Amino acid sequence: MYSDIFLSLASGLLYRIIKSYRLVVFGDEYLINCKRPPVFALFHAFQMIAAAYRTPFKTNILVSHSRDGELAARTLERLGFGVVRGSSSRGGKEGLSELIERVKKGESAAITVDGPKGPREAVKSGIVRLALIADVPVVCVSAISKPFYRLKSSWDNFVVAPPFSKVYIQFSEPVSLEGEVTYENIARYKVLIEERLKRLFEEVKMVASNS
């Protein structure tokens, strides 16, 4: 495990880097028009640069119990996000239940839909279950930075942007998920969210390349 001193210093450094980003945001008008705070869906690779944007809602993020998760949790708390600990393999059900309760109380949530260990860009069932049970819409989020670097050694090709990078963030229109929590609905909505996230990344990548 990392020491408390290391975690404090590292989270402070990450906070300063993320706060230095220059943001260009598209689709944030969809958030203003949401009748209820949505749940945000994004791929794990983009969480660092996407965290630079503060939504108009109290947004809670599911973070794993790993040592890297502890660093992420401390950084996110510095940035003003709520943190719920859990993952698909350790405490995930408890973490998802806590997120559902917070969303039902009128708060928002954000989930890295392919985390914490992949497969890369394969949506898991958690976000669909949350949206159906809490009866809230899903807003997909994608982002890209200039300059744009990927850590090829990581399972998700994690995106890293140096200080003062320009970060482009794109939100989708809210997607309302209807029906009961059934295998068929979960499978259908997983495909819908995955396709929308991939399309959204291509859109924001094109905007960034033309600016």
- The structure tokens listed for 72 are 């992420």
Domains and CATH numbers, the chain: 4-209 (3.40.1130.10)
Other beta carbons within 10 angstroms of residue 207's beta carbon come to 14
Phi, psi angles (nearest 5°) of residue 149: -125, 145
- The whole-number average pLDDT for the span 37-66 is 95
Q: How far apart are CA 129 and CA 148, in angstroms?
A: 33
Q: Is the pLDDT of residue 88 over 60?
A: no
* pLDDT confidence of residue 92: 58
Q: Which of 109-118, 161-170, 175-184 has the lowest mean pLDDT?
A: 109-118
Start-to-end CA distance of the chain, whole Å, equals: 42
Omega cis (within 30) before 174: no
Q: What does the DSSP assignment read for 12-78?
A: HHHHHHHHT-EEEEESTHHHHT-SS--EEEE-GGGHHHHTTSPPSS-EEEEE-SSHHHHHHHHHHHH
**Percent of all residues in the chain with a pLDDT value above 70, rounded to a whole number:** 97
pLDDT exceeds 80 at position 40: yes
Q: Quick check: 90 pLDDT over 60? A: no
Mean pLDDT of the chain: 93
**Lookup: tokens for 4:** 């408390």
Contact present, 111 and 193 (Cβ < 8 Å): no
Q: One-letter amino acid identity for 60? A: N
Indicate if the pLDDT at residue 89 is higher than 80: no
Cβ-based burial of 107 (10 A; exposed 0-12, middle 13-18, buried ≥19): middle
